[in-house]
Structure 1
Amino acid sequence: MALRIGNSVLDIERGTLRRDGEIVPVRPKTFELLAFLVRNPGRVLSKDELFEAVWPNTIVSEDSLTQCIRDVRRCIGDETQSLVLTVPRRGYMFQAAEAGPPISQPPAAVAAEARRAAEPMVAILPFRVDPADAKAKPLFDGAVEEITNALSYFKTIAVLARHSAFALAEHSAQDISATAGRLGADYVAEGSVESAEDGYSAHVKLTETASGCRVWAQTFAFRTNEIFAFQKIVAQRIATALVANIESAAMRRAPPAPAANVEAYFHILRGIALLRSYGEGVNEEARQHFVKALERDPGSGLAHAYLALADLIIGRYSAAPRAVLDEARDRALHATALSPDEARCHRILAVTLLYRGRDEYDAAEKHFARALDLNPYDADTLAQTGFFQVLQGNGEAGLALLDQAVQLNPMHPAWYYFDRGEALLVLGRYREAAASFSCLPRKNAWHWARLAACHALGGDIDRARACVREGRQLDSALTVEDIVADFHLRRPEDGERLRSGLERAGWDDTGMVGP
């Protein structure tokens, strides 16, 4: 179970804290103190009790407790001290009245099965580079992404998703192992880079999380244009260090190179980063980077695939003109022809087919399956395949895949909340669906419509109508028919359930909100 604290969500079991839908890096002692406060709401906790709970058998000063309380308040946005109260000369109290209802998390059986299937798990942290070298940071961030992707080809290894690994790296060195353990990472790979006259020297090491023992370390010297060979060999050496004889079994299919030209690769990296962000014009800017990548390397399947995805996003998926949908599909098909063993190309092709309509679902299913076969531990592929299963009416199977994706990428991007909300809505778990949709950091009218339907179907008409008002302010012309059509569900009864929820919430097509 997770608990809502103001605009934050504390997941005690997973050891994570999210605020406004985004992960908040938390020091281990700060997390332990916050969890203890939340478990004891409405009760004054003495300093001695807090010392015993967080620092057992350890002598620490009151300054340590004061600093930790300050960190707790900062992490949950409690600048006014209305959630964590100071009780003069007595201690501290967590204000229970501000906490929301528990949020159900994935079933334990599903999570346990996903964890068993994913062992051992390794987190690839961003390399430490010379800040004076402007090219080194994006180049080696990209190298980490490609090493993460390449490691996923070894089907007996799970890799913590890049987004989560980079958030993990925000912790200080002494906190990384503890945080990695809470996220389920059995091993941590990290490296440091020094610039040479015509290239780089990189020292990479692999450490076991539980014991802190170094499993493997090696120094590599290479020219800049040899970055792709460096990525491949690091992935192989990590896999070999983790699992005996895995290399010969898994390298039957060699990982694809991302692009033949380093400058083109820089543009691909920048474009992908922009697509993962939020803000005015970021998708259009990302598209320009993919265009520049193709100008430098027309044979890059990955650049073609991401350009197709950018066009699909800019066109607003299924709402895009038919010509845009056709061009995105054709470009994604070209990408798979150029890079037939690149899982991301197949995943993006599946997405373009998905939004062309139900007639393309069979073809989309084949390419989702191909992407998973090529890269079975890619969190984004698992999540989008799960979403596709939901649209097919397979709610339980889809939710299980989405839960596995969340486990592999606990610090996941915000769109996971939308896809998981859709699954829960299809399954009739309306309160959980509403909780998931609520975590979206930026809600458009379509999001508010789903929230309204969930609250109405769950019996909370007042909250449903409040959501209708929010949605109507953003798009007064949005109709019930538009919203139901956007659901893309194969089973008519699922669309009718959404329609019923919208009608109960008072979302009528006149633009007025019911009494």
Structure 2
Amino acid sequence: MRNIASAIARPYGVIFNHAASHRDDPSQVSEGFRCVLLTFHSQRRFAPDINARGRDCLTSLAGNQADFAPARALLPMLYVDNARFGAKSDQEREASLAQAFVLAKHAVSAAPDSARAYQALQSVLLFLGRSDEALEAGRHARELNPYDTDIMATHASTLIMLGDADPGLTLMQQARRMSPGHPAWYNTMIVFAACGKGDMELARREVALIEHDDTLSGLLARILVAHGEGDTARRRALAKKLVSQHPEFGTDPKAMLHRIFPASSLNRQLLAALNASGATSEE
């Protein structure tokens, strides 16, 4: 039952939204399910306290229930999120990624048939700069569970973030078709891929679906489309909102992008859009 919950909660946002309303009520959900829901809540919009609570919960769960493979697979992904969005220094970022790598390798060795474990390893390797190994881990995750739309979408997003827009877009669109309650980051990644291909018509259609998404990735996608359309006023307004939420983008956007995306053509496109916005010191 726990494996089923883990498999369906993230790709099907409607199910997650319903269950998440009970995440703090121990009488309504098991400890394992509560940890999984807390993890997914953290991944929707990063908050340091929720990320830390999720890591503590999963660490305890993995220690107390050795047969609960989803806990071991999810834990390294929270360390990756902390490295990308929460770390206050390069040293903290490197430490989080190092811990994520140890945990992901342990997850794979403990459950070599777990697609989720290889999905986690893919994410860790991507942000360690080991792109080829990340893609191989993602392909293996898909071989182990070819019908899991979240695993499919994670591999697609890896391709897109590495600047391989064509296959990434095809795979992400396939994942979306198979997941009617998909989370907004599917649309965000389609926007990034469309901009990477120069398909502004598709980018416009997709960004209209996330026009109220003020998450970090959502704002970046909206800025990128405004930049591509030459909408200076909208680009500046969105960049101002981005900097108000994440002040580091106002002083060193290049370093911030390096933290949250691997080096690629997408990274360069985003930096150009931010520098043109007038909201950064690198204009």
The bucket for the TM-score relative to the shorter chain is 0.7 to 0.9
Alignment of 1:127-206 (within 5 A): 142=2, 144-145=4-5, 163=12, 166=15
**If the length of structure 1 is used for normalisation, what is the TM-score?**
0.45
Pairwise CA RMSD of aligned residues?
A: 3.3
2:177 maps to which of 407, 424, 438: 407
1:443 maps to which of 196, 210, 214: 214
Contact 1:418–1:440 (CA under 8 A) maintained in structure 2 = no
| Number of aligned positions between the proteins | 262
TM-aligned CA deviation for residue 411 of structure 1: 0.8
Pair 425,162 (structure 1): closer, same or farther in 2 beyond 3 Å: closer
Counterpart of 2:115 in structure 1 is: 343
Alignment of 1:285-304 (within 5 A): 285-298=53-66, 300-304=68-72
Contact 1:445–1:472 (CA under 8 A) maintained in structure 2 = no
Pair 484,431 (structure 1): closer, same or farther in 2 beyond 3 Å: farther
**What CA distance in whole angstroms lies between the structure 2 residues aligned with 1:161 and 1:474?**
25
CA deviations 1:470-489 (Å, max 9, x no partner) are: 12222333133235434424
Point out the structure with the larger helix share.
2
Contact 1:293–1:303 (CA under 8 A) maintained in structure 2 = yes
TM-aligned CA deviation for residue 376 of structure 1: 0.3
1:379 aligns with 2:149: yes
Contact 1:161–1:409 (CA under 8 A) maintained in structure 2 = no
CA deviations 1:180-237 (Å, max 9, x no partner) are: xxxxxxxxxxxxxxxxxxxxxxxxxxxxxxxxxxxxxxxxxxxxxxxxxxxxxxxxxx
**What CA distance in whole angstroms lies between the structure 2 residues aligned with 1:446 and 1:161?**
17
Aligned-residue sequence identity (percent) comes to 22
Pair 431,502 (structure 1): closer, same or farther in 2 beyond 3 Å: farther
**What CA distance in whole angstroms lies between the structure 2 residues aligned with 1:301 and 1:483?**
33
**What CA distance in whole angstroms lies between the structure 1 residues aligned with 2:243 and 2:86?**
21
SS in 2 for 1:311: helix
Alignment of 1:100-119 (within 5 A): none
CA deviations 1:226-283 (Å, max 9, x no partner) are: xxxxxxxxxxxxxxxxxxxxxxxxxxxxxxxxxxxxxxx9433222211222575333
Amino acid at match of 1:428: G
Alignment of 1:95-494 (within 5 A): 142=2, 144-145=4-5, 163=12, 166=15, 266-277=30-41, 278=44, 281-298=49-66, 300-316=68-84, 321-357=93-129, 360-430=130-200, 432-433=202-203, 436=206, 439=210, 442-444=213-215, 447-478=218-249, 479-485=252-258, 486-491=260-265, 494=266
SS in 1 for 2:195: helix
**What CA distance in whole angstroms lies between the structure 2 residues aligned with 1:314 and 1:329?**
13
**If the length of structure 2 is used for normalisation, what is the TM-score?**
0.78
SS in 2 for 1:292: helix
TM-aligned CA deviation for residue 314 of structure 1: 2.8
CA deviations 1:57-111 (Å, max 9, x no partner) are: xxxxxxxxxxxxxxxxxxxxxxxxxxxxxxxxxxxxxxxxxxxxxxxxxxxxxxx
**What CA distance in whole angstroms lies between the structure 2 residues aligned with 1:161 and 1:297?**
21
Point out the structure with the larger strand share.
1
Contact 1:267–1:292 (CA under 8 A) maintained in structure 2 = no
Contact 1:431–1:454 (CA under 8 A) maintained in structure 2 = no
